[in-house]
Structure 1
Amino acid sequence: MLTRKQHELLLFIDSYLGQTGFSPSFDEMKDALGLKSKSGIHRLISALEERGFIQRRHNRARALEVLRLPEPAQLSPAASPNSLNVIKGDFSQRLAGVKTGEAAASMSLPLYGRIAAGLPIEALHDHSEQVEVPMALLGQGEHYALEVAGDSMIEAGILDGDTVIIRREDNAESGQIVVALIDDAEVTLKRLRKKGNTVALEAANSAYETRIVPAERLKIQGRLVGLLRTYH
């Protein structure tokens, strides 16, 4: 049976390997789990290796291999796969780490519908649904939530079915991930690149092409500030 920290570390290593092709450093693992020293990471890795979840290649640096992920029965109650995990950050390069949501304070945000992380889809405006979001994810300003549909942002750590937290803004800097409304009809979640009188909407998946649109046809509806994921 895995403890919560063992489960968190295993998921972080697996996600990091999938995005970079190599394992995270001890400092990165320490920061992702919120530990104060690397000795705790050493103990967690040894425990995962003893239980057959990971393997260390001792002749190479930063060479951890995930052999398998746990079944629900192998998790302690605190590490249940149906527990909600929170990912916070600017998502500028890759998924920074998975942190368990432990904040007691939360607030309800409107869940407007599904946003395409693939081909743009028509914007939904169903205000009847709400989602509870830890206050730690929210800063100043107005926020709302959208459910992700598609896989075009997977290399930024944003998966199909995730719930993204959006700060409502009408402007953004190049390189930020935004909710973009095109021709007042289509909405999509993409990385923004400003190029003169045009705007490039970049996917984080090599299977998708960058979409270029005239700047006057696009409205920024908000900027990505956080993400919620439920493990099933």
Structure 2
Amino acid sequence: MLTKKQLDLLEFIHTRLQRDGVPPSFDEMKDALDLRSKSGIHRLITALEERGFIRRLAHRARAIEIVKLPESMGGVPSAPTAAGFTPKVIDGPHPSPAKPANITPDEVQLFARELPVMGKIAAGVPIEAISHVDHHVAVPGQMLSVGQNHYALEVKGDSMIDAGINNGDVVIISETNAADNGDIVVALVEDQEATLKTYHRKGASIALEAANPAYETRVYPEDKVKVQGKLVGLIRTY
């Protein structure tokens, strides 16, 4: 079931694709639906994608394709899914799409972006500092903040399992050298070892806390710990 605004937007996109072969811009969609901001278009597009009516592509700007149409627009009725469940999946080891070009900051969060995977990060005892690009991974734009630099790391170890971070997961990190208490951070210890832990400042000391009772909290003088980024997302491959 689509709302009137969702149906109006789907009809507008479909008409423009039929006429021009390319989808309309965010500004055109906003004007056509008489909305005040492009954030409203973003929400409508996300709703249409979640309901399986459109698919957003990452290899070119404004890449939207119609997957199906509702019956009111001549579409074929959809077969019901078990218990109404529609899975949302982030695919695993497939080739990363190219970064889209010529899109606005409002539009960039609709598309996947390619991030470098900077090797492995210890969610356990700290391992050697990470400084090389191992490969790249495509990351949904919704995970990322416009204007911020990001990178990815593969998790090694189980010390953060109670925070939902498992061995083999890929974590998405926003580059920063500052953190608040309770943030999960990439911390460089004594300029030699990198680890993924929950950050707590206690006076002139920094506590790096695991999310697994099998691992003890490690406390260091503040000059021995450098924050290299904060956790903003996670990708898991089954």
Cα RMSD of the aligned pairs, angstroms, is: 2.8
Aligned to 2:121: 115
Does 2:148 match 1:138?
A: no
> In the TM superposition, what are the counterparts of 1:37-186 in structure 2 within 5 Å?
47=83, 83-84=91-92, 105-140=111-146, 141-186=148-193
Specify the alignment match of 2:206 in structure 1. 199
CA distance in structure 2 between the aligned counterparts of 1:80 and 1:172, rounded to whole angstroms: 31
Q: Which structure 1 segments of 5+ residues have no match?
A: 1-33, 36-42, 49-77, 85-102
User: What is the CA distance between 1:184 and its match in structure 2?
Assistant: 0.6
Structure 2 CA distance for partners of 1:133 and 1:83, relative to 1, 3 Å: closer
Cα deviations by residue, 1:24-82 (Å, 9 ceiling, x for unpaired): xxxxxxxxxx89xxxxxxx99x959xxxxxxxxxxxxxxxxxxxxxxxxxxxxx86999
**Secondary structure at the residue paired with 1:151?**
coil
Secondary structure of 1:230's counterpart equals: coil
Counterpart secondary structure, 2:182: coil
TM-score between both structures, scaled by the size of structure 2: 0.55
Identify which range, 146-155 or 104-113, moves more after superposition.
104-113
Per the TM alignment, residue 125 of structure 1 is displaced from its structure 2 partner at its CA by 2.1
User: Contact 2:119–2:134 (CA<8 Å) still a contact in 1?
Assistant: no
Call closer, same or farther: CA 1:195–1:229 in 2, change over 3 Å: same
Structure 1 stretch displaced more, 219-228 or 133-142: 133-142
* SS state at 1:126 partner: coil
Higher relative strand content? 1
Equivalent residue number for residue 228 of structure 2: 221
The Cα shift of 1:176 comes to: 0.5
Give the letter aligned to residue 227 of structure 2: I
AA aligned to 1:192 is: Y
Structure of greater relative contact order (alpha carbons < 8 Å, 6+ residues apart): 1
In the TM superposition, what whole-angstrom CA distance separates every residue of 1:160-193 from its partner, at most 9, and x where no partner exists?
0000000000000001000000011000000001
Which residue of structure 2 aligns with residue 8 of structure 1?
Answer: none
**Which segments of 5 or more consecutive residues in structure 2 lack a partner in the other structure?**
1-49, 52-79, 93-108
Contact 2:90–2:235 (CA under 8 A) maintained in structure 1: no
What's the TM-score, normalizing by structure 1? 0.56
The percentage of counterpart residues that share the same residue type is 50
Matched to 2:160, the amino acid is M
Deviation at 1:129, TM superposition (A): 1.2
